[in-house]
């Protein structure tokens, strides 16, 4: 049982959830995730952790409302409890003195990139932050990054902030730099991570992605999160979630992520119409 300290929609469709979880807060590192269930009937869903407070014993999650389970999480009120929040799961992001690191965040990945950037700075790296969104009003937490990142770039689909276009404009950003970054870390939806990896493969810039496949237990027991990395089968929950983006079989990954799309639709057909549905927040999938 974990108490909901706060739940609010920070930009359309994107929610912030602060949970009481002292054991997790005292142990978690950047890049790790938790598995939550919104209610007793709920499915187990893996969510990246965006921040934590060891003293308060809380963790902060940013998630996007996309289906039945995230919908249930999105309707939580302050003071509610959820039956399951387990973690920290997966391996932490490798932090070292890399030189210049470009961090790219989109959707929920802006949030989960925050602790990564914080640790990278502590380790003495120069950090270039790239926000990717459909429109400027979907970018959140920019103020938290301002004091951390050495430079901030924006790519928006409608051109309302920074460059107009989508993640393929990344090449333009890299070309505008005096020298390419030593490493790129990208968190966000599958398309963002796949296209980033595609763009950086040619120039040979090491690109780390944080995969988010379907999971059940998160401890290596069920194997549903298996991904092909460099031709070998890996379990994202225990071998990942971070992998070299150039080694990921993205086509397979995308197909496996979509395995239950029909069932998600089925859920909405049988559920009561929701009073507020923010379509404008949806990005790709």
Partner 1 sequence: MNPEKPSKINLNRNEMPKQSPEMRRHNFDEVALGYTEELAIKEASRCLQCKKPRCITGCPVEIDIPGFISFVNKGDFAGGIKRIKEKNCLPAVSGRVCPQESQCEAQCILKNKGAEVAIGRLERFLADWEASQGHIEIPPGASSTGKKVAVVGSGPAGLTVAGDLILLGYDVTIFEALHKAGGVLTYGIPEFRLPKAIVAREVEYLKKLGVKVITDYVVGKTRSIDELLKEFDAIFIGTGAGLPWFLNIPGENLNGVYSANEYLTRMNLMQGYRFPMSSTPVKRHYRVAVVGGGNVAMDSARTALRRGAEEVRIIYRRSHAELPARLEESENAEEEGVIFNMLTLPVRYIGDENGWLKEIECIRMELGEPDASGRRRPIEVPNSNFRIPMDATVCAVGNSPNPLVPSTTPGLETTRHGTLVADQETGKTTRDRVWAGGDIVTGAATVILAMGAGRKAARSIHEFLSK
The residue ranges that bind partner 1 (CB under 8 A) are 23-24, 27, 37, 41-44, 68-69, 72, 83-89, 216-224, 226-228, 233, 238, 249, 251-252, 255-256, 259-260, 263-264, 266-267, 270
Distance of closest approach, residue 21 Cβ to partner 1, in angstroms: 10
How many whole angstroms separate alpha carbon 177 and alpha carbon 257? 34
> Closest Cα to residue 23, out of 58, 51, 50, 49?
58
For partner 1, the closer of residues 206 and 226 by Cβ is 226
Distance of closest approach, residue 84 Cβ to partner 1, in angstroms: 5
How many whole angstroms separate alpha carbon 188 and alpha carbon 55? 28
Token output for 18: 């602060």
Distance of closest approach, residue 203 Cβ to partner 1, in angstroms: 29
Asked if 11 and 63 count as a contact pair (C-beta separation under 8 A), the reply is: no
Scored b (16 or more CB within 10 A) or e, 101-132 reads bbbbbbbbbbbbbbbbbbbbbeeebbbbbbbb
Helix runs in the chain, H state only: 22-25, 68-74, 109-122, 142-146, 170-176, 190-201, 236-239, 250-257, 261-270
For partner 1, the closer of residues 178 and 231 by Cβ is 231
For partner 1, the closer of residues 179 and 272 by Cβ is 272
Distance of closest approach, residue 228 Cβ to partner 1, in angstroms: 6
Please tell me whether the peptide bond between 241 and the residue prior to it is cis, using omega within 30 degrees of 0.
Answer: yes
Please tell me whether the peptide bond between 88 and the residue prior to it is cis, using omega within 30 degrees of 0.
Answer: yes
For partner 1, the closer of residues 104 and 237 by Cβ is 237
For partner 1, the closer of residues 256 and 284 by Cβ is 256
Distance of closest approach, residue 79 Cβ to partner 1, in angstroms: 20
How many whole angstroms separate alpha carbon 172 and alpha carbon 188? 20
For partner 1, the closer of residues 147 and 269 by Cβ is 269
Distance of closest approach, residue 208 Cβ to partner 1, in angstroms: 21
């Amino acid at each position: 049982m974990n108490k909901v300290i706060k739940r609010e929609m920070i930009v359309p469709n994107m929610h912030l959830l602060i949970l009481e979880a002292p054991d997790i807060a005292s142990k978690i590192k950047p890049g790790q995730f938790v598995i939550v269930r919104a209610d007793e009937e709920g499915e187990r869903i893996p969510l990246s952790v965006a921040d934590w407070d060891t003293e308060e014993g809380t963790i902060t999650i940013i998630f996007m409302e996309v289906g039945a389970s995230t919908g249930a999480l999105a309707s939580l009120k302050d003071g509610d409890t959820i039956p399951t929040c387990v973690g920290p799961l997966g391996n932490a992001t490798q932090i070292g003195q890399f030189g210049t690191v470009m961090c790219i965040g989109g959707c929920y990945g802006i949030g989960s990139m925050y602790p990564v950037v914080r640790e990278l700075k502590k380790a003495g790296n120069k950090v270039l932050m790239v926000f990717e969104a459909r429109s400027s009003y979907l970018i959140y937490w920019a103020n938290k990054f301002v004091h951390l990142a050495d430079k901030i770039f924006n790519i928006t689909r409608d051109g309302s902030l920074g460059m107009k276009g989508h993640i393929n404009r990344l090449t333009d950003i890299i070309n505008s730099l005096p020298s390419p970054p030593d490493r790129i870390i990208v968190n966000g939806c599958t398309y963002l991570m796949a296209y980033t990896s595609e763009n950086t493969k040619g120039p040979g810039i090491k690109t780390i992605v944080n995969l988010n496949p379907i999971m059940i237990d998160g401890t290596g027991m069920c194997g549903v999160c298996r991904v092909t990395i460099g031709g070998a089968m890996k379990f994202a929950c225990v071998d990942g979630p971070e992998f070299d983006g150039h080694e990921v079989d993205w086509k397979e990954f995308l197909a496996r992520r979509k395995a239950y799309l029909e069932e998600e639709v089925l859920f909405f057909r049988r559920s009561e119409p929701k009073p507020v549905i923010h379509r404008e927040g949806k990005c790709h999938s």
